[in-house]
Amino acid sequence: MSRTALARTYRPRRFSEVATQEHVSATLRAAVQRGRVAHAYLFSGPRGVGKTTLARVLAMALNCPNRAPDGEPCGECDSCTKIWAGKTSLDVVEIDAASNRGVDDARDLRERAMYAPSEEGRYKVYIIDEAHMLTREAWNALLKILEEPPSRVIFVFATTEPQKIQQAAPPILSRTQRFDFHRIGTVDLLGRLREVLRQEGISAGDDVLLPIAQKADGGMRDALSLLDQVLSFTEGAPTADDVRRVLGLVGSETYLEIFDIIAERRHAEVFRYVGRLMDEGYDLAEFYRGLADALRSLLVTRLDGVEAAGVREDLRDAFAREAGRFAVGDLLRMLAQTAELDTDGRFRKSGQQRLLLELLLLRFSYLESTVSLEAVLAALGGGSTELPLGAGARVEEASARPVVRETPAPRIAPPSPPVAPTPPPAAAQPPVQERTGSLGPGEVKRAWRATVEAGEGVPPGTTLFLRSAPLAFADGVLRVQLPAASPALDRLATPAARRPLESALARQLGHPVALEFVAEGGPEGPEPPRITAESHRQDRLRRLTEDEPLLAAAVREWDLELVD
């Protein structure tokens, strides 16, 4: 026995029945009601979201003898039934542009459109599906009739790739009213699937319908086709196991298992895990697709709570627990690495899917965790001998906020204070208010930058050179290296010229410091260094450690690597 597929049986018959496309259906219904229907429309959007369906409903509404005052077709008369079912109709013609894409086909369509509708008061509606498949010559043959169409003739072009029409025939867009259709949300898909099962007299829970709605990826037709497939291979009410077996889906519990392995760094277990996937007959491409969704659910749970993640109610606690084991930065990097694996379909086309998947999961299990720099400094400043989450192996500066990536590290004591330098003779310095205590290199360098930025005692035209100059402080003397060709070296060559800058620096520190300016390189010196992105990054990270003595101590004691 043959039967009608669910996607056809439950195709909407009215504007109000088209799910989540109210911005299109309401506009078209109002246009029919007010007699302001355009002569050409372009419907664009993903597959299975209602483009052809709304085109048929529009044709039904224009030709329905029992049309409601608000513009809705009755959906039950002979005209509506024929159009809805896609049967032969003199006034509504559907054309597949994929197989009728040439200029001769377009000319034939143009000639047919010149004939009047079969009855007075009716409209001729041409629905051209996969319109992006038309050739440039075919579009050119249609340009004139689209600009000045015959009376009571409507064209509806449906496409999933409007950009191809833009490239092949840009004038078409100005001759049509364009409507962009949206993907249908999971909640709306679930609601429609429940309604279909209710009318079919079948009971199924969300644990059955949610995987179907997620695999449909925003397409109502795909969701109904998948449901039809599951019902065809099961007796009575389907179960979640039936859905996974028929559609080859990977259960959420399987992803929770790999997240446990990653969080606990059981590296060798990755190979056994992938081996079980192969033995149980899972499609690795399907597993990869589900892995991205599962990582996204963990990230949403971490940022916005498990209720916003859209996971099954019975697994919410498990997802919340797993999400708490990873930092947000870790989940972002894992999700980014997953997306990069299938760039240009590389994973799906590969003959080494198992190897690529094992490498990806191993990268996750070896992934260094992240803790904030504030936590490092708080641990050091408070006398703690270890970092949160274990300790840090790399300090990372991102978005102006440094973080530390963790690997096991030894316990250390808080950093000791720097050794006091020997001050220069008092007679060589301007009179300043002496401070007690010693000067550290980092403190002197910070005071130098503050003095240069303030411009006090700085000769005109030298700020740029002084701000970026390498510095070395020892025995009460701050040595400043400058390019041999820089004007700063000439203008600060004599003690009298240096004295205002030394006085300003001494006021910053409360302690006299002698300045010494030396040329980089040989007698003539090299060319001034070019400022590059790498040199700017190194300078920024160097200043970071100079500004944060505790961080500098952590870098020194734990052998940390500073990275962007």
400 occurs within a structural domain: no
123 occurs within a structural domain: yes
Chosen domain end from 365, 381, 415? 365
* Residue 207 Cα distances to 204, 213, 241, 252, 521, angstroms: 8, 11, 9, 11, 72
Cβ atoms of 515 and 438 closer than 8 Å: no
**Domain CATH number, residue 309:** 1.20.272.10
User: Listing from the earlier edge strand, what are the strands of the sheet with 394-398?
Assistant: 369-372, 401-406, 394-398, 561-563
Please report the beta strands in 27-89, taking only residues with DSSP state E, as ranges in sequence order.
40-44
Chosen domain end from 247, 265, 292? 247
Mark whether 326 and 231 lie in a shared domain: no
User: Which residues, at least 6 apart from 538, have a Cβ–Cβ distance to it below 8 Å?
Assistant: none
Q: Name the packing angle between helices 353-365 and 328-341 (round to 10°).
A: 170
At 426 the pLDDT is 42
Per-residue pLDDT reduced to its tens digit, 332-366: 999 999 988 887 778 888 888 999 999 999 999 98
331 occurs within a structural domain: yes
Residue 292 CA to residue 331 CA, distance in Å, equals 11
Q: For residue 226, give the amino acid letter.
A: L
Residue 365 CA to residue 268 CA, distance in Å, equals 10
Q: How many residues does the chain have?
A: 564
Mark whether 20 and 95 lie in a shared domain: yes
Mark whether 193 and 176 lie in a shared domain: no
The three-state secondary structure class of 40 is: strand
551 occurs within a structural domain: no
Q: Tell whether the torsion through CA atoms of 520, 526, 532 and 538 is positive or negative.
A: negative
418 occurs within a structural domain: no
545 occurs within a structural domain: no
User: Listing from the earlier edge strand, what are the strands of the sheet with 177-180?
Assistant: 92-96, 124-129, 153-159, 40-44, 177-180
**Domain CATH number, residue 190:** 1.10.8.60
CA dihedral 422, 427, 428, 429 (to 10 degrees): 80
Q: Domain containing 206: what range?
A: 186-247
Mark whether 84 and 140 lie in a shared domain: yes
Burial of 88 per CB tally in 10 Å (0-12, 13-18, 19+): exposed
Residue 409 CA to residue 558 CA, distance in Å, equals 7
87 occurs within a structural domain: yes
Looking at the DSSP bridge assignments, the partners of residue 403 are 372, 396
At 537 the pLDDT is 61
Mark whether 176 and 190 lie in a shared domain: no
Mark whether 169 and 192 lie in a shared domain: no
**Domain CATH number, residue 17:** 3.40.50.300
Mark whether 357 and 265 lie in a shared domain: yes
Residue 394 CA to residue 409 CA, distance in Å, equals 11
Low-confidence residues of the chain: pLDDT under 50:
384-385, 387-433, 436, 522-528
Residue 147 CA to residue 153 CA, distance in Å, equals 12
Q: Name the packing angle between helices 353-365 and 252-263 (round to 10°).
A: 50
**Pairing mode, strands 394-398 and 177-180:** unpaired
Count H helices, E strands: the chain? 26, 12
Q: For residue 360, give the amino acid letter.
A: L
Mark whether 220 and 304 lie in a shared domain: no
Mark whether 169 and 217 lie in a shared domain: no
Q: Which residue has the tokens 């092949």?
A: 168
State the Cα angle at 267 between 263 and 270, rounded to 5°. 95
Chosen domain end from 225, 247, 269? 247
Cβ atoms of 149 and 177 closer than 8 Å: no
At 168 the pLDDT is 87
218 occurs within a structural domain: yes
Mark whether 197 and 174 lie in a shared domain: no
Nearest residue to 157 via CA among 278, 41, 323: 41
At 526 the pLDDT is 44
Mark whether 259 and 242 lie in a shared domain: no
Looking at the DSSP bridge assignments, the partners of residue 396 are 403, 563
User: Which residues, at least 6 apart from 528, have a Cβ–Cβ distance to it below 8 Å?
Assistant: 483, 485, 486
Residue 174 CA to residue 38 CA, distance in Å, equals 12
- Alpha helices for 201-315 (secondary structure H): 206-216, 220-232, 240-247, 252-263, 269-279, 284-304
Residue 535 CA to residue 529 CA, distance in Å, equals 9
- Residue 132: how many CB atoms within 10 A of its CB? 20
At 268 the pLDDT is 93
Per-residue pLDDT reduced to its tens digit, 110-148: 888 888 888 888 899 999 999 999 999 999 999 888 888
**Domain CATH number, residue 437:** 3.30.300.180
At 215 the pLDDT is 87
Q: What percent helix, strand, coil does the chain show, rounded to 5? A: 50, 10, 35
At 100 the pLDDT is 84
Rg (CA), the chain: 36
Nearest residue to 10 via CA among 194, 185, 183, 156: 194
Residue 425 CA to residue 311 CA, distance in Å, equals 73
Number of domain units in the chain: 4
Residue 459 CA to residue 461 CA, distance in Å, equals 6
Cβ atoms of 127 and 59 closer than 8 Å: yes
Mark whether 78 and 32 lie in a shared domain: yes
Residue 381 CA to residue 415 CA, distance in Å, equals 9
At 156 the pLDDT is 95
Looking at the DSSP bridge assignments, the partners of residue 124 are 153
- Alpha helices for 455-494 (secondary structure H): 463-468, 487-491
